Amino acid sequence: MSKKKILIVDDEKDALFVLGKELTSRHYEVISAENGNDALSLAESEQPNLIILDIWMPGMDGAEVSEKLRENPKTKDIPVVFLTCLLEKKNGEGQGRLVANKVVIAKPYDIESLSSQIERLANLKIYS
């Protein structure tokens, strides 16, 4: 069975490194982008099973990237998990909330909660 491929998009290099290392240790193939334009190119060329997308980025933010992914027939079916520091966390809440029909995980995230969302969503990508 081939590894599930995950595209991580975050303008913070440290965040990319830490999450990438964690996911690689969990046997995912990880590719990364530091901005929206690179993310769109990689999503189309690499066809990941899942995209983990920071909402708050300079230039093209995560919402814009997500909208452009949905407009492209080659990327419209790739599941997206948003990461943000904009959600208020209370007693463990904010780990996998649905906002506008998207999974949104608050930073700092709990890796076990994020991993369960990733495992569930990475299996949804259907290749034609």
pLDDT of residue 57: 87
**Are the beta carbons of 72 and 47 closer than 8 angstroms?**
no
Convert the pLDDT of each residue in 26-52 to its tens digit. 889 999 999 999 999 999 999 999 999
User: Where do the domains of the chain lie?
Assistant: 5-111+118-122
pTM here is 0.80
What does pLDDT average to in each consecutive run of 10 residues of the chain (128 residues)? 88 92 92 97 96 90 92 94 65 41 67 77 54
Residue 2: φ, ψ to 5° = -80, 155
| CATH topology for the 5-111+118-122 domain | Rossmann fold (3.40.50)
Q: Helix, strand, coil: what percent of the chain each, to 5?
A: 35, 25, 40
